[in-house]
Amino acid sequence: MSSERSESPRSIKRIARIAVIAVACLLIGVLCLRRGRAFQVATPDSFAKVKSAKSLYGALTPQEDKLVVRHFSVREKQTLVFWTDSLRNHLVEDLGYTLKEEGEFTTDASLAGHRFLFEISIGDVPYCYELVVFVKQGWFQQHIYAAELLCAKKNFEKRAPAVETALKQFRPRHGWPL
């Protein structure tokens, strides 16, 4: 009887120790998972993934239409409206892009973003440049995701639906909860 009494606290301690180790392993696992790419994006039809890094995704079509998704961590915490205004100002005023369309863009996971469509000319060839921006608040900084599609103007109508479908499935992996 006395031995049972003496072993009981030991077993409780053992269980507690195992529980602590399990929680630690779980946390480490979660952290490891979070160390992957900063976002999830599906490869659109007719595109082939050619670049994949922690903060970068790149895909190409046979005609070398380009889709790039990038992640930026910034210290300045601002709203989506602020950043879209800044982007519009920079691209139109500084780089001389011609803005054709713009509007809201929402993913299937209800992440709000903003979409721009510009026309530019590269080597006297007209190109379409589509930019979709998402903003997500982090703990200590802000996470900004920019999806850019650059393709010849004649190909844009063909590429846009597939890219839109892919971006609808876009999921950032920063912020809390996962």
Partner 1 sequence: MIFHPSTKKVSRYLDGVLSEATTRSFEAHLAKCPACRRKVEVLRSAARVCCPPKQRLEAVSQNVMARVGQADSLSYEKRWNTDAPILAEIRSVEGTVFIRNAANEKSIEAFPGCALRQGDRLEPVGGGSVAVEGENGVACLVTETADVSSLYQGAAQASRGGAGISWAAIRKQLGARSVLASSAVALTVVAVAVIVVFDPFIREQWNYQAAYLPNQRHTPEMALPSNGTVSGGLEMMYDPTNGTVSGGDIWRVKDGGAPRLAPIISCIPDIIISDADQKSADRNLFIFENALNLDELVRDDTAASLLKWSFVEPTPRGGVGWLLGSTVAVSESTTKASPSTAASKSPAPTPKTAPSASTTEKRLVIYTAQFSILVGSVADSMKDLLQKIEKWNGYVQTADLQRVTFRVPAANFNRVVEEVSQLGVVTNKQVQAQDVTRQYMDLQLRIEVAETSRKRLLALLEEADKTEDLLKIENEIRRLTEEIERLKGELRTVADQVVYSTIAVDLTAKAAEAKPARPRGGRSYFAWINQIGAEHVIRTF
Give the residues lining the site for partner 1 (CB under 8 A). 50-51, 56, 58, 60, 64, 66, 68, 70, 72, 74, 76, 83, 86-87, 89-91, 93-98, 118-124, 127, 129, 131, 144, 146, 148, 150
Query: Beta-carbon neighbour count of residue 17 at 10 Å?
Result: 10
Q: How far is the CB of 121 from partner 1 (least distance, A)?
A: 5
Q: How far is the CB of 157 from partner 1 (least distance, A)?
A: 18
- Strand (E) or helix (H) holding 11: helix 2-34
The answer to whether the CB of 151 falls within 8 A of the CB of 61 is yes
> What's the rounded Cα separation, in Å, for the pair 178 and 170?
14
- The DSSP result for 69-81, as a single string, is EEEEEESS---HH
Of 14 and 77, nearer to partner 1 (C-beta) is 77
Q: How far is the CB of 139 from partner 1 (least distance, A)?
A: 19
For 123, left (φ over 0), alpha (ψ -120 to 50), or beta? left
Of 58 and 138, nearer to partner 1 (C-beta) is 58
Of 4 and 94, nearer to partner 1 (C-beta) is 94
Of 96 and 175, nearer to partner 1 (C-beta) is 96
Pairing of strands 125-137, 112-122: antiparallel
Q: How far is the CB of 57 from partner 1 (least distance, A)?
A: 10
